Amino acid sequence: MTTMANKLQEYIFPPFGGIRGGLILFLCLLCGCSSDDNDDPHKDERPTFVAAQRPNWEVDWSSDVARPDWQEPDPTKFECSMDLMATLDDSFLKYSSDNDLLAVFLNDECRGVSYRNVMKNGGVTYLLHVKGSSEEVGQPMELRYYCDNLHLMSRPTSWRPTFEPNNLMTSAYQWVLRPGDGNTKYPNNTTVFIEHSNELPFTITPNDLLGVFCGDECLGVAEPEPSASVTWQIEAYSNSTTNHVQFRYYSADKGGVYTFPIAITLNGNFIIVPVEF
């Protein structure tokens, strides 16, 4: 019997449909299913429960990329310049070191290199002085960040500023670097919406955790909002070898972990997965 989860696991939200479009499809499929009164259509999809202490789930960002030898450009070759600023997200701070590098590329050439600046509040920022020519005005630039402790290279794809000489360092030229943004270990990012339609057997607390796993490899962690009574959202990271992903839920109220047998495929976009506890 084709299960509800299998029907929806490859579903991608339309550009303007959002969650509402996914829910409409879910309801349509639900209405179209029939079963005997004694037949539970979700029996094989419900999770198993194991008592456990709060787990320390986290994505292992460590990689094997060698430290790059980025060099500042020859300033005599370029008549124009501008400035950029990047700040490390709090989740990245524990990996930060003085050996980290941030560089900006224009036409695949390094046009500025920066080292970390530790602020009084413990934050880390990078200031980039970018060189270019007048012919390159308006062309997109690319940031590349190397974390030495993780041997991880990140090439953020969600921020592609253009070369604008004499800029005023507005918010358009400032960025927050996060581990999951364009890293080469897990280049794909999928937003997973988990819909639980039945009454939960526990009370959601701030200590609850939601995790996405490929085997025992953690690909994403989130803390469900107590107000999110119908939908949970989690960012899952993957690469070309990732398949048959499942998710787990730790309930502080019940003192254990629910493991769902439903296998989903991460598509690098948006997917919705209906579940039953």
pLDDT above 60: residue 17: no
pLDDT above 50: residue 34: no
Contact 232, 222 (CB under 8 A): yes
Q: Which two three-digit tokens encode residue 114?
A: 């920066």
Q: What letter does residue 196 receive in the DSSP assignment?
A: E
Q: Which two three-digit tokens encode residue 123?
A: 């934050």
Domains annotated on the chain, with CATH: 4-35+42-59+186-275 (no CATH), 75-177 (2.60.40)
pLDDT in tens, 159-204: 888 999 987 777 767 889 988 888 899 999 999 999 887 788 998 8
pLDDT score at 44: 65
Residue 138 CA to residue 147 CA, distance in Å, equals: 29
pLDDT in tens, 233-275: 999 999 988 888 999 999 999 999 999 998 888 988 899 998 8
pLDDT in tens, 40-90: 555 667 899 999 999 999 999 999 999 999 999 998 999 999 999 999 999
Q: Which two three-digit tokens encode residue 161?
A: 């500023």
pLDDT in tens, 202-213: 988 989 999 999
Q: Are strands 188-196 and 270-275 parallel, antiparallel or unpaired?
A: parallel
